[in-house]
Chains A and B, each alone.
Chain A
Amino acid sequence: MDAASSFAAILFFPSGLFLLAASLAYEWVDRKLLAQFQNRIGPRWFQPLADVVKLLAKEEIIPDGVNRWLFVGLPIVGLAAPLTAALYIPLAGLAPVFSFPGDLIVAIYLLSVLTMSIGLAGSNALGRFSLVGATRTLTQLFSYEAPFLLALLGPALIAGSWQISTIIEVSAQHWFILTQPLGFVVALIGLMGKLELPPFDAPEAETEVVAGALTEYSGRGLALFRLGKGVELVLGLTLVAAFYLGGVGGPLAFFVKTLALLLIVAGLQAVLARLRIDQTVGLWWRFGVMLVLVQWALTWLLQGGWR
């Protein structure tokens, strides 16, 4: 019985199919909000699903000169990693399927695997746009990853644990956004960097490098990468909401808080112009890291760590 319910949880709810459906729904909300901010109509509600179905049905062209195993395998890894990370994250306000001390680090690393897969996929292809895009993807990975991780560790510091469920128990009583506002800002913007959303979309800036690392991808591979990004959007929003916005106590709180965050994210996408990759790196290492370190120092002082 226990095994059966775990299986169902992995396959359907709260992970698995629910997560895929949520990723499509959140992608639609993001696109629709952005369109409305830009005075456009935006896509219909089923457009992300239709895109995925269309891509899955299309022929996948494998270009000459690539390693076929990598070309086919990387999209699968790229989607599987965030789906695995979902097992440790309190989706829809329910307790994570698995939990152990230190699972925060595992979850964050699993979330980075998608970006690394995209970078590798771009390096694997021989096209120049893919190569330039891959370089930018990996450069960006090295710039936002540390501040993002440090920002998520802020609440962990208070909770005294690197176990997600323990941190959430603490954050349910404290809205960390009030005590650690700098950490919240860095975490949310780090999430935008992770997802390569504007203004951090230099790796896939269409006017410069076409589709960046994924230029050579079509059909199934592209669909899986896109799904992976959608999943990561949901997971990232969940993590930030759970850590900084007073936890996600139930399905209602989950949806309200993550959608509120998505509203902010879409608004930022609408009002900001794209950063060049050197500007992105400069922004993260000059301001992102400094903000988080200041936040850590403040937390440490206020907690009485100096005694």
Chain B
Amino acid sequence: MEETTGTDLFTVPIGPQHPALKEPSHFRITVDGEIVTDATVRLGYAHRGIEKAAEARNWVRNLYLFERVCGICSHIHATAYALGVERLAGVEAPPRAQAIRVLVAELERIHSHLLWLGVAAHEAGFDTLFMYSWRDREAIMDVLEGLTGNRVNYSANVLGGVKCDVDDAQRDAILKALDMLEGRSHHYLDVVTTDALFLQRTRGIGTMTRNQAEVMGAVGPTARASGVPRDVRLDAPYAAYARYPVMRVVETAGDLEARFVVRIRELFESYRLIRYLLDNLPAGEIRGRMPRRVPQGETISRVEAPRGELFYFLKSNGTDTPERVKVRTPTIYNLTSVVKLVVGHQLADVPMILAGIDPCFSCNDRTVRLEETNGRTHHWTWDQLRRYSLEVEHGRSL
């Protein structure tokens, strides 16, 4: 079939602009009829040079820069950064601050999972679930706004503590929102596990075995849906997670349905944790003293973002600006599995499998890949990028 029309015709491009993708990314899907025979991914459309920009800002300003790596899990980025910087500086945030970090992180996880539920339902053409879950997500957005003053980039963290405290009125508002959401989540769990038409699109689709998940280095709910008990909150407790332990949520089926179930069950775990945390909030300061200069040294910081393990590497040269900050977001770990899992499935399943890992492309773009018209590709090094940016700034073309 392909020899008459050329291989190009049966390659379906998904992205960089495509209704299934809310962010730019490029998937090249080779199909035979409706069956996918090959898939490749190309990243780098949303490279923003955040790591480089960090080297020109001081430690405090960088907190707000890294909060903007991701629009959905903004707090967890700031937390990872703040924990790393505090470790370098030898400062420990007070217990109440650590607890509030956990509180906001779990609220953010609820908001992120509900958002994902809607997006994934939309990919399956189930717009009613999409509209309902996003409506319910508003309750969490309102709570976060009441708590921190912001709906998206909460800026709850400062170096050495948090910005905002929880008073009784906010506590009641959170508990009220959780009660409503808990009822709704039971309903959603019921829908995704019993709706016959929806199950046709999720059960047995994109199945990743535990072995595959470990080999491909999957993280977060994607890995936990395949039976890999990997959760940084438990494996290497940070902030106040040692004090408020979560329960591991693991499913073994490894298909899309399991990924739905894992995320919804994590919602219940977050509700429980937040209630427990609000009842056992330690008293005291919410902010410690933080030096302006951070002593020389390097450290890593690992946290569990809603999408999986988030990794920060920080290097200080003893001044008030970092020498190097490296961010690795969970999407990049999980993307490998998408390219692998779609092969053999129908074209219609590709957006579902892609949505199943809850991708966040602009978060993970740390490199620029150039593709020439003759098909050769090459990656730009740090130096090349820097030279290019200087040339553009000085009005010269490459």
State whether these chains interact.
Answer: yes
Task: List chain A positions with a Cβ less than 8 A from chain B.
Answer: 37-40, 128-129, 131-132, 198-199, 201-202, 205-210, 270-279
Given A128-B12, A208-B351: A39 and B195 within 8 A (CB)? no
User: Which of chain B's residues have a CB closer than 8 A to the CB of A276?
Assistant: 200-201, 346, 348-349
User: Which of chain B's residues have a CB closer than 8 A to the CB of A129?
Assistant: 12
A277 to B124, CA, bound (A): 12
A279 to B126, CA, bound (A): 15
Give the residues from 99 to 134 in chain B that come closer than 8 angstroms, CB to CB, to chain A: 121-129, 131-132
Query: With A198-B127, A199-B197 given, can you name 17 additional A-B contacts, CB distance below 8 Å?
Result: A128-B12, A128-B13, A132-B347, A202-B348, A205-B348, A210-B18, A271-B128, A272-B126, A273-B124, A273-B125, A273-B129, A273-B197, A275-B197, A275-B200, A276-B200, A276-B201, A277-B34
Mark B335-353 against chain A: 1 for CB-CB distance below 8 A, else 0: 0000000000011111100
B35's nearest neighbour on chain A, judged by CB, is A278
B123's nearest neighbour on chain A, judged by CB, is A207
The yes or no answer to B9 lying at the interface (CB within 8 A) is: yes
Task: Name which of B20, B125, B195, B201 has the most chain A CB atoms within 10 A of its CB.
Answer: B125
Mark B193-219 against chain A: 1 for CB-CB distance below 8 A, else 0: 001011011000000000000000000
Task: Name which of A38, A131, A277 has the most chain B CB atoms within 10 A of its CB.
Answer: A38
A139's nearest neighbour on chain B, judged by CB, is B34
A210's nearest neighbour on chain B, judged by CB, is B19
Smallest distance from the beta carbon of B25 to chain A beta carbons, Å?
A: 14
Complex A-B: 27 CB contacts under 8 Å? A37-B128, A128-B11, A128-B13, A129-B12, A131-B9, A201-B125, A202-B348, A205-B125, A205-B348, A207-B19, A207-B122, A207-B125, A208-B350, A270-B128, A272-B126, A273-B124, A273-B129, A273-B195, A273-B200, A274-B124, A274-B201, A275-B197, A276-B200, A276-B346, A276-B349, A277-B348, A278-B346
User: Which of chain B's residues have a CB closer than 8 A to the CB of A205?
Assistant: 125, 348
Give the residues from 1 to 49 in chain B that come closer than 8 angstroms, CB to CB, to chain A: 9, 11-13, 18-20, 31, 34
Task: Name which of A37, A129, A274 has the most chain B CB atoms within 10 A of its CB.
Answer: A274
B: interface residue count bin? 20 to 34
The yes or no answer to B135 lying at the interface (CB within 8 A) is: yes
CB–CB A39/B125 < 8 A: no
CB–CB A128/B351 < 8 A: no
Smallest distance from the beta carbon of B246 to chain A beta carbons, Å?
A: 31
CB–CB B124/A208 < 8 A: no
CB–CB A278/B34 < 8 A: yes
User: Which of chain B's residues have a CB closer than 8 A to the CB of A202?
Assistant: 125, 348
A128's nearest neighbour on chain B, judged by CB, is B12
A272 to B126, CA, bound (A): 7
Mark B346-364 against chain A: 1 for CB-CB distance below 8 A, else 0: 1111110000000000000
Smallest distance from the beta carbon of B36 to chain A beta carbons, Å?
A: 11
User: Which of chain A's residues have a CB closer than 8 A to the CB of B349?
Assistant: 276
Smallest distance from the beta carbon of A263 to chain B beta carbons, Å?
A: 16
Given A202-B348, A274-B125, A277-B348: A132 and B12 within 8 A (CB)? yes
Looking at chain B's contact residues, is the secondary structure mostly helix, strand, loop, or mixed?
helix
Partner pick for A208 among B129, B200, B347, CB 8 A cutoff: B347
Smallest distance from the beta carbon of B186 to chain A beta carbons, Å?
A: 18
Mark B303-321 against chain A: 1 for CB-CB distance below 8 A, else 0: 0000000000000000000
B197's nearest neighbour on chain A, judged by CB, is A273
Smallest distance from the beta carbon of A6 to chain B beta carbons, Å?
A: 44
A208 to B15, CA, bound (A): 11
A208 to B9, CA, bound (A): 16
B14's nearest neighbour on chain A, judged by CB, is A208
A275 to B198, CA, bound (A): 8
User: Which of chain A's residues have a CB closer than 8 A to the CB of B351?
Assistant: 207-208
CB–CB A208/B128 < 8 A: no
Given A210-B18, A273-B126, A274-B125: A128 and B9 within 8 A (CB)? yes
Task: Name which of B11, B129, B131, B135 has the most chain A CB atoms within 10 A of its CB.
Answer: B131
User: Which of chain B's residues have a CB closer than 8 A to the CB of A271?
Assistant: 128
Interchain residue pairs A-B with the least CB separation, the first 4: A274-B125, A273-B126, A207-B20, A38-B131
Smallest distance from the beta carbon of B345 to chain A beta carbons, Å?
A: 10
Smallest distance from the beta carbon of B92 to chain A beta carbons, Å?
A: 46
Smallest distance from the beta carbon of B355 to chain A beta carbons, Å?
A: 8
CB–CB A208/B13 < 8 A: no
A209 to B200, CA, bound (A): 20
Task: Name which of A39, A205, A276 has the most chain B CB atoms within 10 A of its CB.
Answer: A276
User: Which of chain B's residues have a CB closer than 8 A to the CB of A279?
Assistant: 200
Smallest distance from the beta carbon of B184 to chain A beta carbons, Å?
A: 12
CB–CB B132/A39 < 8 A: yes
User: Which of chain A's residues have a CB closer than 8 A to the CB of B34?
Assistant: 132, 277-278
CB–CB A39/B201 < 8 A: no
Partner pick for B125 among A38, A128, A132, A198, CB 8 A cutoff: A198
A212 to B350, CA, bound (A): 16
B132's nearest neighbour on chain A, judged by CB, is A39
A211's nearest neighbour on chain B, judged by CB, is B19
A266 to B209, CA, bound (A): 39
A208 to B31, CA, bound (A): 13
A147 to B80, CA, bound (A): 59
A37's nearest neighbour on chain B, judged by CB, is B128
Smallest distance from the beta carbon of A233 to chain B beta carbons, Å?
A: 19
User: Which of chain A's residues have a CB closer than 8 A to the CB of B18?
Assistant: 210
A191 to B200, CA, bound (A): 22
Given A207-B123, A277-B348: A272 and B197 within 8 A (CB)? yes
CB–CB A208/B348 < 8 A: yes
A169 to B31, CA, bound (A): 52
Smallest distance from the beta carbon of A262 to chain B beta carbons, Å?
A: 17
Given A128-B9, A278-B34: A199 and B125 within 8 A (CB)? yes
A131 to B34, CA, bound (A): 11
User: Which of chain B's residues have a CB closer than 8 A to the CB of A131?
Assistant: 9
User: Which of chain B's residues have a CB closer than 8 A to the CB of A272?
Assistant: 126, 197
User: Which of chain B's residues have a CB closer than 8 A to the CB of A198?
Assistant: 125, 127
A40's nearest neighbour on chain B, judged by CB, is B131
CB–CB A38/B127 < 8 A: yes
Smallest distance from the beta carbon of A296 to chain B beta carbons, Å?
A: 27
A282 to B31, CA, bound (A): 21
